[in-house]
Amino acid sequence: MAEKLRFNGRVAVVTGAGAGLGRTYALLLAERGASVVVNDLGGGRHGDGSSTKAADTVVEEIKAKGGKAVPDYNSVEDGEKIIQTALDNFGRVDILINNAGILRDRTFARISDQDWDLVHRVHLKGSFKTTQAAWPHMRKQQYGRIIMTSSQSGLCGNFGQANYSAAKYGLVGLNNTLALEGDKYNIHCNTIVPTAASRLTEDILPPDMFAELRPCLIAPVVAWLCHESCGDNGSIIDSGAGYAAQCQMYRGEGVSLRKRITDDLSIEDVRDSWEKVTDMSKATPLTTIQAATSNLMTVLEELRTAP
Ligand code: NAD
């Protein structure tokens, strides 16, 4: 068998690592040689309260197996303090897994400002704060591996999760831009879209599925994305139950709604072409902003030269 992938000398920060998915990421990275900051606020699933117990328990678990770990009890809203814990204890930060999360599910009409803000503060702002604090250190050392945690709710929408799905899709946007800005510094940013049994999903997933969806089956996928030999940057990986697949945005072939460059456009022109506008039979992936805008150039050129 090929040599095992190791993380010796690497320092990893895992947010929300006191339970669920984050705990399995921290355990696996430590088992493979990384020094790990086990961050967890230790509150309830709706963002209430705090405790040192969750992070402490996982640090003890890692140490009992001979690994290196320190706890950190800050909220991801104070991301700079979490990164400081890594610097104070291990002198660097190589890997950042933005995983901490809460839920405040309500149907759209019933979402309060607090439900909206708290979910955005933990998921989107927390990932921004923690990543921005790690960024200059990763740039300086010309190395970094960052993970964002999105959700099928973000990619597809989910009844009762408007606040959560908006924040989770926001993380995809953050991922896409960080992948571009980090590339020349060898900082890679990728996104995991997990499905696993945890306290966040115990009343959402069907009971028979819940038992099968062990979080530890996602940890190797995340660890691979964090390894120096993984070249992916900007990928969005859906994973659960030992399955993994890349997700991408697609755009249909589309159609020019005008015949000549001097033509105006009416609502009826749009209606009459709607079938072609929405036809996805010749769809292609939208991978770069250059690719996204280049077809506008082609359309304009065709209109200019139309007889
Ligand atoms: P979990 O509740 O078991 O773990 C989340 C951890 O984050 C908890 O230990 C919690 O204390 C911690 N946390 C919450 N707010 C924090 C804050 N402000 N600062 C620091 N830590 C904080 O849930 P999980 O299912 O393991 O979720 C992990 C991530 O995966 C979340 O971002 C979640 O939205 C995402 N996710 C999970 C699933 C799934 O199927 N479990 C699906 C899609 C996305």
Centroid of ligand 1 to alpha carbon of 231 (angstroms): 26
The answer to whether 7 touches 74, Cβ cutoff 8 Å, is no
Kindly give the parts of the chain with pLDDT less than 70: 1
pLDDT at 248: 96
β-strand pairing of 236-240 with 243-246? antiparallel
The answer to whether 206 touches 222, Cβ cutoff 8 Å, is no
pLDDT at 1: 62
Beta strands in 127-265 (DSSP E): 144-149, 187-194, 236-240, 243-246, 250-251
Question: Which of 37, 41, 195, 237 for mutating ligand 1's site (highest number of atoms within 8 Å of CB)?
Answer: 41
In sequence order, what DSSP letters do the residues of 72-114 get, joined into one string?
E---GGGHHHHHHHHHHHHS---EEE--------B-GGG--HH
127-144 b/e (C-beta count within 10 Å ≥ 16 → b): bbbbbebbbebbbeeebb
Rounded distance, CA 175 to CA 179, Å?
Answer: 6
Centroid of ligand 1 to alpha carbon of 32 (angstroms): 23
Q: Which one from 143, 164, 185, 250 is the annotated catalytic residue?
A: 164
Q: Which atom of ligand 1 is nearest to the CA of 121?
A: 18
Which residue's CA is the nearest one to ligand 1's atom 10? 16
- Read off φ and ψ for residue 163, nearest 5 degrees: -65, -45
Beta strands in 66-220 (DSSP E): 68-72, 95-97, 144-149, 187-194
pLDDT at 292: 86
Q: Which atom of ligand 1 is nearest to the CA of 240?
A: 40
DSSP state of 161: B
Residue that is written with structure tokens 């901490």 in the block: 100
Centroid of ligand 1 to alpha carbon of 199 (angstroms): 8
Q: Show the tokens assigned to 288.
A: 């770069």
25 given a catalytic annotation: no
Tell me which residues have their CB closer than 6 angstroms to ligand 1: 15-16, 18-22, 39-43, 45, 54, 75-77, 99-102, 122, 126, 149, 151, 194-196, 198-201
The answer to whether 36 touches 7, Cβ cutoff 8 Å, is no
- Read off φ and ψ for residue 189, nearest 5 degrees: -125, 125
Q: Which atom of ligand 1 is nearest to the CA of 126?
A: 18
pLDDT at 2: 78
Centroid of ligand 1 to alpha carbon of 74 (angstroms): 14
The model's pLDDT over 142-186, given as tens digits with 9 standing for 90+, comes to 999 999 999 999 999 999 999 999 999 999 999 999 999 999 999
Instruction: Please classify residue 124 by burial: count the beta carbons closer than 10 Å to its beta carbon, then call 0-12 exposed, 13-18 middle and 19+ buried.
Output: buried
What's the complex ipTM? 0.99
Question: Which of 13, 14, 21, 195 for mutating ligand 1's site (highest number of atoms within 8 Å of CB)?
Answer: 21
Could you tell me which of 109, 110, 204 has the C-alpha nearest to residue 152? 204
Centroid of ligand 1 to alpha carbon of 257 (angstroms): 46
Q: Which atom of ligand 1 is nearest to the CA of 21?
A: 26
